[in-house]
Amino acid sequence: MATAHEIDEVLLAFTRALRAAGVPVTHDRSAGFLEATALVGLDGPAGQQLTYAAGRATLCSTPDDLVRYDQVFAAFFDARDGLPRERPAPPSRPVTSQMSLDEGAGEGDEGADDDVVRALASDVEVLRHRDLATMTAAEKHHLAAMFATLRPRPPLRRTVRQEPWRRGRVDAARTLRASMRRHGEPARIEWRHRRLRPRRVVLLVDVSGSMSGYADALLRLAHTMTQALTTRGGRVETFTVGTRLTHLTRALRSRDAERALVAAGSAVPDWSGGTRLGETLKVFTDRWGRRGMARGAVVVVFSDGWERGDCTQLGEQVRRLRAVAHRVVWVNPHRGKAGYEPVQQGILAVLPHVDDLVAGHTLATYAELVEVVARA
């Protein structure tokens, strides 16, 4: 039996391993863990199970943490030689697979192939419109300054609560009170109306390979909107979709755009990876959207609708999303290009379930988008 001192060291080493695996363990959390293990007791056959439960409760705070915790715990404590047998897999390893425009061009992808050709063919055209994908680093820097000129406003909704207003319905209580103050002398009539509150805005940014040229600009736009809307009392939630769903809201909360973008970039594991748009949208709707995040919200999807595999799932998922959202806005960077027709399968599948289809390839179109969102 080890001494108490050694046990504490082992437990603290475990919290370090956990931190290395990406679980945000702070000192007070570690202290809480030690306190909890002391309370439940480490001895006896149930000791390991109790330590496990105590650690889960004190060190984790999201379902993602729980998965990592289980891996690290198994590797750390189940090792027979006293050393971890296998290193826990880093929780979010960037998927470096190139989005292959040609790789999956098997049967059923003829329409998709067509789109590549069209996109390539229209590139010349696009340069004139300052397509973001074709910009140099210096131009992008300049663009960052220009993004500051966008003035996003939150979309509004009417709430049940009412507030005093210049016109609207008669506010009997206030009118009477005012007249009482004048000893029953009829005073002027007071009015009230239903209060307006900002609607939630949810941004889903496709960061797959086919969108890689726009990803930087779109995140910048997401950051601009997050900052502008939250200062006006609104709420913006941002996710990236690709091969997996990443919650970016927190990363974009930083006021400094560059810092926020770096944080966002390191948080997204599937940068320029493949696309499983339908699947990730389903994950979003199941885990976040239906629970309330998308309810009554304005959902903006930035994607070219480029889907590997079957597009019926994509259509189905957008339908589900729209069933809970107030409005679904689809932003397709290819839409603004000359000669664009929504013939690509993914877009065809989602078109019936989308309220607005707007372009998203120049700053002017972003200004338009900001307007569409504000009026939604």
In whole angstroms, the minimum distance from the beta carbon of 260 to other proteins comes to 16
- Tell the residue number behind the tokens 């390191």, with chain if given: 266
Chain centroid offset of residue 34 CA: 34
Per CB under 8 A, the list member of 4, 57, 148, 172 interacting with other proteins is: 57
Helices (H), 232-267: 257-267
Q: Is 77 in the site for other proteins (CB under 8 A)?
A: no
Give the residue with the Cβ less far from other proteins, 199 or 220.
199
CB 313 within 8 A of CB 282: yes
Give the residue with the Cβ less far from other proteins, 43 or 107.
43
Q: Which of residues 79-108 bind other proteins (CB under 8 A)?
A: none
User: What are the DSSP E strand ranges found in 122-268?
Assistant: 156-165, 169-170, 191-198, 200-206, 235-241, 246-247
CB 346 within 8 A of CB 306: yes
Q: Is 28 in the site for other proteins (CB under 8 A)?
A: yes
Per CB under 8 A, the list member of 220, 223, 320, 322 interacting with other proteins is: 320
Q: Is 61 in the site for other proteins (CB under 8 A)?
A: yes
Q: Is 308 in the site for other proteins (CB under 8 A)?
A: no
Q: At what angle do helices 212-231 and 257-267 cross, to 10 degrees?
A: 120
Q: Which of residues 198-237 bind other proteins (CB under 8 A)?
A: 235, 237
Contacts of 97 (CB under 8 A, 6+ apart): 273, 274
CB 77 within 8 A of CB 48: yes
Give the residue with the Cβ less far from other proteins, 62 or 96.
62
Per CB under 8 A, the list member of 217, 293, 328, 354 interacting with other proteins is: 293
372 closest CA partner among 281, 278, 301: 301
Q: How many of the other CB atoms lie within 10 Å of CB of 23? A: 22
Neighbour-count burial of 3, counting CB atoms closer than 10 A to its CB (0-12 exposed, 13-18 middle, 19+ buried): exposed
- By rule CB under 8 A, what count of residues binds other proteins? 39
236 closest CA partner among 374, 330, 144, 62: 374
Q: Is 164 in the site for other proteins (CB under 8 A)?
A: no
Give the residue with the Cβ less far from other proteins, 37 or 365.
37
Per CB under 8 A, the list member of 8, 10, 12, 52 interacting with other proteins is: 52
Per CB under 8 A, the list member of 4, 9, 13, 26 interacting with other proteins is: 26
Give the residue with the Cβ less far from other proteins, 29 or 276.
29
In whole angstroms, the minimum distance from the beta carbon of 201 to other proteins comes to 13
CB 109 within 8 A of CB 101: no
Would you tell me which residues interact with other proteins (CB under 8 A)?
24, 26, 28-29, 32, 35-36, 39-40, 46, 49-50, 52-54, 56-58, 60-63, 66, 159, 161, 197, 235, 237, 247, 249-250, 287-288, 290-293, 295, 320
